[in-house]
C-alpha cells in the first residue's frame, strides 16, 4: 500500500482502531480484485484462440443502446479502439454506411426476446476501414436466471466472405456445368421476382429464360395458392422467413399441367444484392415413378407366383434322349404325368415338333460334357406351347446300368403373362 493511500485512509478514520480496520478491508478487497483479474485473464487466454474479440454490454437495448462494460485485447486489435475509448460507449461506434439495418433489426428482435443471435454485417474500425463482423451473442444471467448482460463473441471474416462471394457469384452465373445440373434450381430476389432458373427448372415448367426472368414467383402457381405465397414477399424481408425453410406446393406448367413440387430455400448474399435460392424436387414425378415401380413389383410377384420349373434326368440311348426322372412340379406345369414321358418317345410328347431336333442336339452335347442352356417350347395344361429355358449339365445315374446322364432344370418363362401385364 503506497503512502498516499495510507494517508487517505487515515484521514477517513476516527481513531487508530478504525484506521487498522480500513487497511484490513482494503487488503481483502485488493486480494479479491487480483483474484478476479487473474481469473479473467485465464478466461481470456482460454478463448482468445477461438474468437477474434469479445465484448460485454449492459442489458438495456433502447437508445442510446447498451453500454459496453468490457472488451478483451482481441477487440482492441481488431477495431483499433483502446479499452478506455469504448468502455461506457455503445457498439454503435462500430457501425457505418454499409452496416445492414435489417441485420441490426433482427439482432434487436432476438435480444428483446431473450434469445441468442448469430449473424454478420459490415463494421468499421477506428480508422474508418471496413471489416465483416460475425457475431455470436448470448445472454448472461444472474443466480436467479435473470438476464443482466450480453456477451458478444466476434470474428473478422472479411477474407472468408470475399472467398465465398467469388464462389457464390460463379454459381449465380449458371455456367454450363450448373445449367446442366440434375438439380432443379430457381433464384428469386427479395421482392419475389425470378432472377434466373437453371435448365432443369425450365424443362420442368416449359418456360424459356426470357419468359421467366422478372416474373413474380407466385404467378407460376395456381390462382388459389398465389396469395399465401405473395404475402411472404409483400412484408418487410426477414431472412428467417426463408433461410433453411422447406416447402411443398403445386406449380403450373406453361401448358397448364399441375406439378407437385417440394424443396428447400436458402438465402445468398451476393455483391449485387440478396437472392433466395430454391432447390426443387418434382414430387409428381417421384409419385409416378413409385406407382410404376409398385405396379411393376406386383406384376413381377404375380409372374413369380405363376412361373415354375421342374427338374429332370435324361439318359442318351443311341443319340436319343430318354427321360429317366421328372420332379413333382412337372405335372403341375404341363398337365402330363411322369409315366407319359418316361419312355423312349417321351421327349416327343412334351416338346414342340419344330424344336425336337435342336433339343436332341443340346442334350447330346451336354451328355458329352458341354454344359449349356437351350430355349424351346413345351406343352402346357391347355394344350398350347410356351417357351422354357433349359439349364443342364452332365451327371450320373444308375438306371439300366448307365453311369452317365443329363441333369437339368426347365424354367417356364410365362411369356404370355409378361406380355399381358407389363
Q: Domain ranges for the chain, please list them.
A: 1-39, 48-156, 166-283, 307-421
Per-residue pLDDT tens listing for the chain (422 residues) = 677 777 777 787 778 888 788 778 878 888 888 877 776 666 666 555 445 688 889 988 777 778 999 888 888 888 999 999 999 999 999 999 999 888 888 888 888 888 888 888 899 999 999 988 888 888 888 888 888 888 888 878 776 666 555 555 544 444 444 444 457 888 999 999 999 888 888 888 889 988 898 899 989 888 877 888 888 888 888 888 888 888 888 888 888 888 888 888 888 888 778 899 988 887 766 566 556 555 655 554 454 444 456 788 888 888 899 988 888 778 877 888 888 889 888 898 899 999 999 999 999 988 888 766 788 898 887 788 888 878 777 876 655 555 688 888 777 654 433 333 33
Asked if 123 and 26 count as a contact pair (C-beta separation under 8 A), the reply is no
Complete edge-to-edge strand list for the sheet that includes strand 194-197: 194-197, 184-189, 273-282, 258-270, 246-252
Q: At what angle do helices 16-47 and 3-11 cross, to 10 degrees?
A: 130
Residue 275 in grid coordinates: 437472392
Provide φ and ψ at 204, rounded to 5°. Answer: -65, -40
Q: CB of 111 within 8 A of CB of 137?
A: yes
Q: Mind giving me the DSSP string for 323-341? A: EEEE-THHHHHHS--HHHH
**Is 299 within 8 Å of 421 (Cβ atoms)?**
yes
- Quote the cell numbers at residue 259: 406439378
Instruction: Say how far apart CA 185 and CA 266 lie, in whole Å.
Output: 11
Question: From CA 60, how far away is CA 66, in angstroms rounded?
Answer: 5
- Please work out, in degrees rounded to the nearest 5, the angle formed at the alpha carbon of residue 335 by the alpha carbons of 334 and 337: 100
Which is it for the CA torsion 279, 285, 286, 289, positive or negative?
negative
Using CA atoms, how far apart are residues 327 and 43, in angstroms rounded to an integer? Answer: 84
List 261's β-bridge partners, or say none: 249, 282
Q: Which CATH architecture has domain 307-421?
A: 2-Layer Sandwich (3.30)
- Per DSSP, the three-state class of 84 is helix
- The pLDDT assigned to 92 comes to 92
Distances (CA, A) of 382 to 264, 334, 335: 58, 8, 8
DSSP letter for each residue of 18-75: HHHHHHHHHHHHHHHHHHHHHHHHHHHHHHTTT-SEEEEEES--STT-PPEEEE-HHH
How many CB atoms are located within 10 Å of the residue 121 CB? 20
Let me know if domain 48-156 sits in CATH 3.30.450.20.
Answer: yes
How many Å apart are CA 380 and CA 412, to the nearest integer? 10
Q: How many residues appear in the chain?
A: 422
Residue position matching grid coordinates 452465373: 173
CB atoms within 10 A of CB 41: 12
Q: Are 33 and 40 in contact (CB under 8 A)?
A: no
Cα distance between residue 278 and residue 60, in whole Å = 38
> 166-283 architecture in CATH?
2-Layer Sandwich (3.30)
Q: How far apart are CA 163 and CA 365, in angstroms?
A: 71
CB burial readout 105-115, b (16+ within 10 A) else e = ebbeebbeeee
| Rounded alpha-carbon distances, angstroms, from residue 44 to 39, 89, 157 | 9, 21, 20
Residue 206 grid coordinates: 416449359
Do the domains spanning 48-156 and 307-421 agree at the CATH topology level? Answer: yes
Amino acid at each position: 500500500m503506497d503512502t498516499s493511500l495510507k494517508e487517505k485512509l487515515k484521514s477517513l478514520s476516527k481513531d487508530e482502531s478504525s484506521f487498522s480496520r480500513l487497511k484490513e478491508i482494503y487488503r481483502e478487497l485488493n486480494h479479491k480484485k487480483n483474484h478476479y483479474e487473474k481469473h479473467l485473464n485465464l478466461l481470456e487466454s482460454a478463448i482468445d484462440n477461438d474468437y477474434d474479440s469479445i465484448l460485454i454490454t449492459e442489458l438495456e437495448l433502447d437508445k442510446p443502446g447498451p453500454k459496453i462494460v468490457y472488451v478483451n485485447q482481441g477487440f482492441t486489435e481488431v477495431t483499433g479502439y483502446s479499452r478506455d475509448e469504448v468502455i461506457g460507449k455503445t457498439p454503435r461506434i462500430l457501425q457505418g454506411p454499409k452496416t445492414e439495418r435489417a441485420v441490426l433489426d433482427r439482432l434487436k428482435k432476438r435480444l428483446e426476446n431473450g434469445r441468442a443471435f448469430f449473424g454478420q454485417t459490415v463494421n468499421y474500425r477506428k480508422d474508418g476501414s471496413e471489416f465483416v463482423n460475425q457475431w455470436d451473442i448470448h445472454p448472461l444471467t444472474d443466480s436467479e436466471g435473470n438476464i443482466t448482460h450480453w456477451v458478444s463473441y466476434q470474428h473478422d471474416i472479411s477474407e472468408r466472405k470475399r472467398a465465398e462471394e467469388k464462389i457464390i457469384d460463379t454459381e449465380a452465373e449458371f455456367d454450363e456445368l450448373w445449367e446442366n445440373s440434375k438439380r432443379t434450381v430457381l433464384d428469386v430476389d427479395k421482392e419475389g421476382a425470378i432472377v434466373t432458373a437453371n435448365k432443369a427448372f425450365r424443362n420442368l415448367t416449359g418456360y424459356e429464360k426470357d419468359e421467366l426472368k422478372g416474373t413474380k414467383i407466385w404467378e407460376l402457381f395456381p390462382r388459389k395458392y398465389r396469395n399465401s405465397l405473395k404475402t411472404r414477399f409483400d412484408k418487410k424481408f426477414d431472412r428467417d422467413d426463408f433461410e433453411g425453410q422447406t416447402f411443398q406446393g403445386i406449380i403450373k406448367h406453361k401448358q397448364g399441367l399441375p406439378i407437385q413440387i417440394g424443396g428447400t430455400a436458402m438465402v445468398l448474399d451476393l455483391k449485387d444484392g440478396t437472392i433466395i435460392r430454391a432447390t426443387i424436387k418434382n414430387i409428381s414425378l417421384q409419385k409416378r415413378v413409385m406407382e410404376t415401380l409398385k405396379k411393376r413389383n406386383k406384376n413381377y410377384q404375380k409372374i413369380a407366383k405363376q412361373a415354375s420349373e421342374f427338374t429332370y434326368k435324361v439318359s442318351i440311348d443311341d443319340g436319343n434322349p430318354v427321360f429317366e426322372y421328372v420332379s413333382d412340379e412337372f405335372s403341375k406345369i404341363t398337365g402330363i404325368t411322369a409315366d407319359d414321358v418316361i419312355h423312349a418317345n417321351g421327349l416327343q410328347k412334351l416338346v414342340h415338333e419344330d424344336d425336337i431336333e435342336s433339343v436332341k442336339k443340346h442334350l447330346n452335347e451336354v451328355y458329352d460334357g458341354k454344359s449349356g442352356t437351350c430355349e424351346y417350347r413345351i406343352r402346357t395344361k391347355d394344350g398350347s406351347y410356351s417357351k422354357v429355358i433349359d439349364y443342364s449339365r452332365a451327371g450320373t445315374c444308375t438306371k439300366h446300368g448307365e453311369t452317365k446322364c443329363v441333369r437339368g432344370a426347365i424354367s417356364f418363362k410365362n411369356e404370355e403373362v409378361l406380355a399381358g401385364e407389363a
